[in-house]
Amino acid sequence: MNQHQKQKINHTTILNEILANDYIFQDIPYKEQIKHATALIKESEYILIGAGAGISTAAGLTYNGKRFTDNFSEFIKKYGTIYMKDMYTAGFYPFPTQEEKWGYWSKHSLLNRFLPPALPLYKQLYDIIKEKNYFVLTTNVDHQFYKSGFEAKRIFATQGDYGAIQCEKACHPKIYNAKKQFYEMDKARQNCMIPSYMVPKCPVCGGNMTMHLRSDNYFVEDENWHNMASHYIDFLEKMHGKKSVLLELGVGFNTPAIIRFPFEKMTYENSNLSLIRLNLNEAMVPEILEDRVIGIGGDMSKTISDLHSQK
Ligand SMILES: [Zn+2]
């Protein structure tokens, strides 16, 4: 492989280096795993946290079940249960009007971004790593890391923010905090719709606005996004050669190329790194990493709490 090809990392090249059949569910008693993880965290100079949807689900921000049906009964009645079966799928409903689109998203945003306080699981996690040199790479858009004490300059939220909106066609590289608008929409919503005068319009092109979420090629990467991307690279450079831990929390296979596969690859290539993977059902790890990897399945809120009490 020449240098040019090496720069392009995708899941095939990663799986070529760590063979797919090398993945195992570790057969190590839970107590020993906690002890080992605690020791690795204590001894580490740097901690890189990689967090996906699973950590927020474990923290209580569940997208299905009662939390969905209680809050969205009006939407379920109006739109049916094909899309309106959980807050993830509901977001893909092809709302025919802007009034309906914002009727839904204002509610979704309040419930998952603005109304919840810092949740105990996140606060415990912060307490575990707060004295460390840490950085957070996350695909989550619910702002829990910011709320729980993690410094904003150490959080790279690559996929957006439920609290912000942007031009639907990304005509200019800016995002807008929509907290005030969403609260107003929530009060004014009738039959799942907001009044037409509340529909946000792009201040530059006059077109429609959309949620600041990476869902198509029009996702706005603003100045702050680029700054955080370079802080992340700086952190990786500082971490290089130092005894460090990659702490992967609730990262599944929706977007494994952002956190899951790169974390495995980094650990594979740097003997000073260890990988701790917490995941409800998908805590399998590459066996080739031997005692530099810990994969703990099951409820993460218990695992974080146990790591916290060992601290
Ligand atoms: Zn525009």
CA of residue 201 to ligand 1 center, whole Å: 8
In this structure, the answer to whether residues 244 and 285 fall within a common structural domain is: yes
Residues paired with residue 286 on neighbouring β-strands, in sequence order: 23
Q: Is 108 within the bounds of a domain?
A: yes
pLDDT at 233: 98
> Does 1 reside within a domain?
no
Spell 203-240 as b/e; 16+ CB within 10 A means b: eeeeebbbbbbbeeeebbeeeebeebeeebeebbeebe
Neighbours of ion ligand 1 (CB under 5 A): 167, 171, 202, 204-205, 207
Band (5; pLDDT cuts 50, 70, 90): very low
The 10s digit of each residue's pLDDT in 96-147 is 999 999 999 999 999 999 999 999 999 999 999 999 999 999 999 999 999 9
Contact (Cβ atoms closer than 8 angstroms) between residue 35 and residue 298: no
Asked if residue 183 is part of any domain, the answer here is: yes
Q: How far is the CA of 176 from the centre of ligand 1 (A)?
A: 12
For residue 272, the CA-to-ligand 1 centroid distance in Å is 46
Residue 194 lies in a domain: yes
Residues 231 and 289 in one domain: yes
Q: What is the pLDDT of residues 250-271, one digit of tens each?
A: 999 888 999 999 999 999 999 9
Sheet holding 209-213, edge to edge: 176-177, 160-167, 209-213
Task: Looking at the structure, tell me whether residues 141 and 244 fall in a common domain.
Answer: yes
Return the SS3 of 157.
strand
- Same structural domain for residues 179 and 306? no
Query: Does one domain contain both 172 and 103?
Result: yes
What confidence tier does 18 reach under pLDDT thresholds 50, 70, 90? low
Query: Is the distance from CB of 98 to CB of 208 less than 8 angstroms?
Result: yes
CA gap 86, 62 in Å, rounded: 9
The answer, yes or no, to whether residue 39 has pLDDT greater than 70, is yes
Same domain, residue pair 227 and 276: yes
**Bridge partner list, 135:** 48
Q: Which domain covers residue 185, as residue numbers?
A: 62-115+162-213
Domain boundary among 151, 182, 213: 213
Residue 257 belongs to some domain of the structure: yes
Query: In this structure, are 264 and 288 located in the same domain?
Result: yes
Separation of 160 CA from ligand 1 center, angstroms? Answer: 17
- Using the mean position of ligand 1's atoms as its centre, give its distance from the Cα of residue 138 in Å: 27
Does 244 map to a domain? yes
- What's the pLDDT score for residue 254? 86
pLDDT at residue 255 in the model: 87
- Between the alpha carbon of residue 165 and those of residues 199, 208, 296, the distances in Å are 12, 10, 36
Query: Residue 200 Cα, ligand 1 centroid: separation in angstroms?
Result: 11
Same domain as 147, residue 91: no
| Judgement on whether residues 111 and 122 belong to the same structural domain of the protein | no
Q: How far is the CA of 164 from the centre of ligand 1 (A)?
A: 15
**pTM for this model (two decimals):** 0.93
- Is there a domain that residue 7 lies in? no
Mean pLDDT of 21-25: 86
194 shares its domain with 306: no
Q: How far is the C-alpha of 163 from the C-alpha of 87, rounded, in Å?
A: 16
296, 37 Cβ separation under 8 angstroms = yes
CA of residue 75 to ligand 1 center, whole Å: 29
- Could you tell me the distance, in angstroms and rounded to a whole number, from the CA of residue 115 to the centre of ligand 1? 29
Tell me how far the alpha carbon of residue 208 lies from the centroid of ligand 1, in angstroms: 7
Distance (angstroms) between ligand 1 centre and the Cα of 211 equals 13
Check whether residue 260 and residue 166 sit in a common domain. no
Whether residues 33 and 111 fall in one domain: no
CATH number of the domain where residue 258 is located:
3.40.50.1220
Strand, helix or coil for residue 226: helix
Residue 218 CA, ligand 1 centroid: distance in Å: 11
Q: Is 8 part of a structural domain of the chain?
A: no
- Percent pLDDT > 70 in the chain is 93
For residue 216, how far is its CA from the centre of ligand 1 (angstroms)? 15
Number of domains making up the chain:
2
